Chain A
């Protein structure tokens, strides 16, 4: 009898727990009890975000409301005027998406006209028109705290629908890059459905659940705990802007949030994931060993996709220690890029000596054309003139990893440069010492002393984990070995407070991000103008974390502002910027941020590849990744 009671009690407890869960997950009971997703029709993608904080929230236009972004919402359901892919693109990196053609400015960049595609439908059958664009801008201008309220309010004097398919903006001041607000790099200002939001009393409290889609998929169902979101292809997918690139292959797309990288790897090996956003270097090496059908961006080593982001050493220029460029150059020449590559990425880094990420179209526009200039570049150490650039560093790293990875490592010189980078500054301790001595530093034993007699010592803030943490640690070690007391400090608030408030001496992070698919540098460069420089102790607004200013830099930025986006002059200005950065070395560029994205060809083929068809960024949380779906074909495996 006692046993029976115990059994009953256990059953009651268990059912209470399950019942609590069942009743706690509101809004889902109406969904069909069992739904199946045939594997040959379903693409399963890893969403790198943590599970959504506010799972039923799809109103992505409100800042900080907890809506997940890369759960498929901004990849599959939202859309905007243009996309600029960080890679080659299906027909060039610039996509006219909802716009029928490129932006049209007047002569002084105070007006912009956009012509829209006709026949595009929202998923509820309503036609997309100029009214949606006007509503998007006016609503956010009238409602502070929405994602694009501030940039619209700052720029837009008025916006009007000239007709159903033409929008005309009048700007408050000249801005040759106004279109960038509607141009997706990772994301951009998404268009709101006017017919839905105009009926809502408070747009900031509206959950937009289920979302009315402008993309080729609609929401099928989602986990009330935010771990997965399932999207289903619209029957009228051909009435969306992506149709110009073909029909998306998968009937269903599932975005799964899997915080542990080990679990991601296992799920892919088990056939439960088709695309992984990111792994550790070791995880990637293990995956390709475990699964014959899995691979990365490169077919072999180094596998990873270089993001248009440039990890670097950032010096705080408001710190007296780093105001002399000879000191900054000395610190650069003390570094061994090969060791940094091995320690951070196990050799799978794409190095860059110049202040441009070595990815997308940049090697073609910058790294390649500037090779001769870099090789001939001369640096005065105070005692002699040296040529600090070594164009073979990438080749050397390839040779270092070849014993371990064998045939996986490319042998073609061009392929090596694409994967490992062109070259870097050769480690030259003697020249570094000469530069420090010229700057008034002295060496006592193995300790460098500053001109005012203090030990040359500082802290290097770095990430708490991952490759950037490893990079910071090895750089601090290399400087310490040369007599500079550098301590690497794992800083969980590096971007939230340390860099913005200037509470650091030096850091490994990044202040340069580019379009990747276009040589234009305005994406980050405009914010480097001295007009935005904060006083010491005050918050520096993104992205000039180094708080560096130079009249020559301001001149470049001001000319970029007056140069149309597609004007070839932008590339010349970009080259001038690179040369100024080499001369002054305000930051030490190191490499691109390589993402170990992986995909599995067991169920789907047609993914972009570095070697044959780099038509899109495979990093799954980028909105641009939607173009991949149009190229996928099922392998018919079930």
Chain B
């Protein structure tokens, strides 16, 4: 137990270092953007109106001062670190003075909801089918699934998404192709709202599942195909261990270790959102917010999203590191 605590402490310190390096890099990158939020706003305010050049210059000076952009970069960095510790990432520059985190928290549930469910579903089904296909290599059904998976795998996501829109929105218009819920319901715990959310999530979620399934399936099948040739599997078969037990406890369990790590990475990665899904299906989420923030030069929102993603990925890896010794005795021994 003492060894495990030392191991956990080391990993925790590593986590802090990764988070610090990650958010510092995110700060630097977001502040090196050539896009000026002030110019973006001026473009919007003055672009379609009779705004004299003198007035534009005056507005530029005012906004630069209000946004605190007249402060040196290192000073902005230390201010940011101070605020980050208390969870305040400052005001958004494309929705000033609304806190950047407020905008992020509005979009976050949609992204987490859509991607967590579709990622876990894809991971589960892909790994189970991949594991079975790797073990029962003569099954025609699983072979056929393998062919389909290989066929679908290289299709770019946006093609799949557009196909879904065209098929279910145009040729056979039975599912909504835009929005997170219908305009005639209101967010609440009512059955109408819940059903509306689920109905609107079908197409985006299915498109993600179709594209994601093949990756997990093929990866797991390859892993299992190697494991079934291991001596201990052959020995178990010769010893008359039941096949279900061999598949579940000997083969898939061993193959799961790298897949679990990949799942953690995938779950951590969902905090960056899915820009294409959101654009194609007009679906709310972090991806579109991030794109708007990047295009608007809003370093605060970019940082807020990046920080969440950095913390999420690092934390997921930390958790997996903590679980690994429980799953794999070899890691514990080390």
Contacts and interface: CB of A to CB of B under 8 A. Distances in A.
B interface bracket (residues with beta carbon within 8 Å of A): 35 or more
B76 interface: no
Contacts of A136: none
20 contacts: A13-B120, A17-B117, A18-B194, A20-B109, A34-B185, A50-B288, A63-B63, A64-B40, A150-B55, A151-B51, A181-B50, A227-B178, A227-B179, A262-B165, A263-B169, A266-B165, A270-B170, A493-B35, A497-B39, A500-B39
Contact of A187 (B48, B106, B279): B48
A154 B187 contact: no
B138 interface: no
A587 B303 CA distance: 40
B95 A145 contact: no
B198 to A, nearest CB: 7
Interface stretch (B1-9, B96-104, B234-242): B96-104
Contact of B292 (A23, A53, A228, A254): A53
Given A225-B106, A541-B53, A185 B280 contact: no
B59 interface: yes
B62 A145 contact: yes
A19 B184 CA distance: 18
A369 interface: no
Nearest to B186: A31
Interface string B287-307: 011001001110000000000
B204 interface: no
Interface in B46-68: 46-59, 62-63, 66
A260 B280 contact: yes
Given A532-B53, A542-B47, A63 B59 contact: yes
A65 interface: yes
B53 A527 contact: yes
A28 B184 contact: no
Interface residues of A, number: 84
Interface of B: 34-37, 39-41, 43-59, 62-63, 66, 92-98, 103, 105-110, 112-114, 116-117, 120, 162, 165-166, 169-170, 173, 177-180, 183-190, 192-194, 197-198, 279-282, 284, 288-289, 292, 295-297
Contacts of B116: 13, 17
Closest 4 CB pairs of A and B: A66-B95, A17-B113, A186-B48, A20-B109
A270 B288 CA distance: 25
Given A21-B187, A263-B169, A266-B165, 15 more contacts: A22-B188, A24-B106, A37-B184, A55-B106, A144-B66, A145-B59, A221-B186, A223-B179, A227-B180, A263-B178, A269-B170, A496-B35, A496-B43, A541-B53, A542-B51
B113 A34 contact: no
Contacts of A144: 62, 66
Contacts, number: 236
Contacts of A65: 95-98
Interface in A387-444: none
Contacts of B40: 64, 496
A180 B43 CA distance: 18
Contacts of A496: 35-36, 39-40, 43, 297
A310 interface: no
B184 A542 contact: no
Residue of B56, B183, B192 with most chain A CB atoms under a 10 A cut-off: B183
Given A24-B108, A180-B50, A541 B56 contact: yes
Nearest to B188: A29
A20 B113 contact: yes
